[in-house]
Structure 1
C-alpha cells in the first residue's frame, strides 16, 4: 500500500461463506472505523432471487455496486477510513469500486473450507448451493490490483490480525480498541439501497 496520511477504505471481498462479515466486524471493533455490510445494500429483489437459489446477473449487481461505490466515495472524499463487505468477484466489479486509498482484502480458501463454513451458517439468505456459481464467477485479483490476500484456514481473529499487520493499520483518532462500530452498522450516513 502506498504511503499516505489517509488510512484506507477496506473492501472485504470473497465468495459467500469466506467470513467477510465476521472479519470486517473484528477489524471495525479493533480500529474504531465505520463499518457497512454490503449485503444489506442489496435490493429486495436481489435478496429474494438469491434466497430462491438463483445467481445474480450483472444487470442485478450494477445498482448494488453503485450503492457500495457511493459509500466508498463518501468516505474517501471525507478522508475517513472505513470497512465495507462486498463479494467483488469480478475485476469489472472491483473497477467500479476502485478509488484512491481503497484496498481489497480477499478472503481466499478452498471450496471445501468455505463450503463447511457456509453450510454451518443459519442466518444468511444465500443457500450453499450457490457456492459453485460464486467460485466459477470469481476472478482472483491480480498483482496490479491493490489487494491483500488472506487465507481463511485460521480463526477470524487471526485473519483480522494479519490484515492489521500487513497494512500497518491503527485505530482512528479518538476511538478505543473496543470500537464503536458493529457488524452491519455504520456510524456514517449511508445511501439508501436501491429498491428499499
Structure 2
C-alpha cells in the first residue's frame, strides 16, 4: 500500500516544527491534518501553561483520543502531529491501526530547538519545559528522521522522497 495513504505521525519535542511540517505535508498529499495539541484536555493545557510537565496519567486520555482519530482515518490516511516522546506513547498511538502508521521524527539539538521556542509567540508550552521533553524523549526506531536545521521546504522535500513521492 502507498505510504502516503496511511496515518502519518509527525513527532518530536515542542518547537521542532511538527505543526508547520505536518500542515505542509498534509496539503501536499491532500490528506486531512490534525494537530495533537488541539486534542489536549483543558487540564493538560492548564498544567503545561503553569510550567508543569505532564505525566503518563495526564497523557493517557489524550493519546487514546488521538488513537481513535487515527483509527477513523486509517483507510484513507491523515497527518497527525504529536510529540509522542516515549515508545509506550507511540505504541498507544498506533494500537489497532492497519496498515501500520508511518512515523516522521523531527530531530534537533536542545540549543537549536530552544532558540526556536524563544522566538515563538502565543503557544501554551513554555520554553522552560523543553529540557523535560528532551529528558523524556526516547528516539524512535524505524522512523523517518529529519534534521530540523533544514528549511521547511527542504524538510518537506526530504520527507516526500523518503515516502517515495
TM-score strictly above 0.5: yes
Partner in structure 1 of residue 144 of structure 2: 148
Partner in structure 1 of residue 29 of structure 2: 31
Partner in structure 2 of residue 44 of structure 1: 42
Q: Which has the higher contact order (CA 8 A, sep 6+)?
A: 1
1:167 and 2:163 are equivalent in the alignment: yes
Rounded Cα–Cα distance in structure 2 between residues aligned with 1:5 and 1:20:
22
- Normalised TM-score (structure 1): 0.79
Task: Give the aligned CA root-mean-square deviation in angstroms.
Answer: 1.1
Rounded Cα–Cα distance in structure 1 between residues aligned with 2:2 and 2:42:
38
Superposed displacement of residue 101, structure 1: 3.1
- Normalised TM-score (structure 2): 0.94
Gaps of 5+ in 1: 170-196
More helix, by proportion: 2
Partner in structure 1 of residue 81 of structure 2: 85
Partner in structure 2 of residue 67 of structure 1: 65
Distance 1:5 1:108, change over 3 A: closer
Partner in structure 1 of residue 122 of structure 2: 123
1:107 and 2:103 are equivalent in the alignment: no
Moved >2 Å (runs of 4+): none
Partner deviation per Cα, 1:121-172 (whole Å, 9 max, x = no partner):
0021000000000000000012xx4x10011111112111111110114xxx
User: Higher Cα Rg: structure 1 or 2?
Assistant: 1
Superposed displacement of residue 81, structure 1: 1.4
